[in-house]
Amino acid sequence: MQQMHFDPALIAQIAPYQPWLLIGTVLLLFMLLRFTRKALRKRVDEVGFRLMREKGLLIWFWLNAPGVIIHEMSHALVVLLFYPFHFRITSITFFRIKPLVQRSSGGRVVRAGGRQSLQLGEVQYVRPQGSFISYVGDGFSGIAPLFGGVVMFTVLYWIATGYNLWDMPIDIHQHLQLLRPGWPWWTLIFTPYLILTVTSELWPSRQDWYGARWLTATLALVVLLALIILWYFKHLDALLQFSALIASRLDFALLILVLLDVIFLIVAELCVRAACH
């Protein structure tokens, strides 16, 4: 691969805006990922419908079964952590597609991802009513799949490439290296699919966000207050540089996911054309 050279003057002009560009790119790639993932699901649904009619529309749910497991176990793990505060799991369900169950007075029903009319799994639990710790537990349980999915994605990326997400796989000659030297190539046979399913299910559902609304609102106020304090003491530049560092790693991770989606979209498009014939 030929080494790339950039104009030093151009780099100097961009440097003051680089942190904002990195942070803005996170939002851009996230929206692009949402678009490619929806397009991929549409293609999978189309293939399923052509092969199995209405039943084929459930293929997307079954393809995401590993991600659903991580999603639901993330909910369950947080509930177990709040066991000393009288949180109790009443049931955990996997792989039973049914109409969406509404919340009951006895406890909150946590729904896995997918379209709003169906669910593939759920965790039900009970906890004390009206106490402060109940709102905290509901909040962390609601957003748990986001953290569980990110952790699993990090592990799968390491299994696939031998690199950590915070490592830039570039050698001293500025060449991009897909795999760490000496890392087995066969890990790429199964990890892309697992990464797809885990990241498809890591985003909390609307009901999850609803259960976490008090916690997320409180955290948002704390962050806003922290920003005001940093601005008052003139430490925002340091925060901006740190945020840019985090954003650069997020950009890299999101770019990987978008590229994976493009590959799977090509495969799905070929399957659609084959099904048409």
Q: Is residue 96 part of a domain?
A: yes
Band the pLDDT of 108: cuts 50, 70, 90: very low
Q: Is residue 11 part of a domain?
A: no
Q: How far is CA 68 from the centre of its chain?
A: 12
138 and 88, same domain (yes or no) = yes
187 and 257, same domain (yes or no) = no
71 and 190, same domain (yes or no) = yes
Q: Per the structure block, which two tokens stand in for 115?
A: 């379209």
152 and 176, same domain (yes or no) = yes
52 and 79, same domain (yes or no) = no
190 and 54, same domain (yes or no) = no
Range among 10-19, 167-176, 207-216 rated most confident = 207-216
Band the pLDDT of 93: cuts 50, 70, 90: confident
Close Cβ partners of 166 (under 8 Å, ≥ 6 residues apart):
249
Q: Which domain holds residue 270?
A: 20-63+234-277
164 and 200, same domain (yes or no) = yes
128 and 244, same domain (yes or no) = no
CA distance 269 to 265: 6
Q: Residue 108 pairs with which residues in a beta bridge?
A: 125
Q: Which of 48-62, 124-138, 146-160, 170-184 has the lowest mean pLDDT?
A: 170-184
**Percent of the chain surpassing pLDDT 90:** 47
73 and 182, same domain (yes or no) = yes
Q: For tokens 């151009």, name the residue.
A: 10
Dihedral of alpha carbons 122, 123, 124, 130, sign: negative
Q: Do the Cβ atoms of 120 and 145 come closer than 8 Å? A: no
Mean pLDDT of 147-151: 94
State how many domains the chain has: 2
Q: Is residue 10 part of a domain?
A: no
271 and 196, same domain (yes or no) = no
121 and 258, same domain (yes or no) = no
pLDDT in tens, 36-76: 999 999 989 888 888 888 777 788 888 888 999 999 999 99
Close Cβ partners of 3 (under 8 Å, ≥ 6 residues apart):
173, 174, 175
Q: Is residue 3 part of a domain?
A: no
- How many other C-beta atoms lie within 10 A of the C-beta of residue 65? 14
Q: Is residue 92 part of a domain?
A: yes
126 and 159, same domain (yes or no) = yes
Instruction: Give yes or no for residue 121 having a pLDDT over 70.
Output: yes
Q: Per the structure block, which two tokens stand in for 7?
A: 């104009």
Q: Is residue 57 part of a domain?
A: yes
Q: Is residue 130 part of a domain?
A: yes
Q: Do the Cβ atoms of 93 and 75 come closer than 8 Å? A: no
pLDDT in tens, 205-215: 888 999 899 99
Backbone angles phi, psi at 87, to 5 degrees: -85, 135
Is residue 125 classed as helix, strand or coil in its secondary structure?
A: strand
Q: Per the structure block, which two tokens stand in for 266?
A: 């090509």
Is residue 122 classed as helix, strand or coil in its secondary structure?
A: strand
Q: Is residue 72 part of a domain?
A: yes
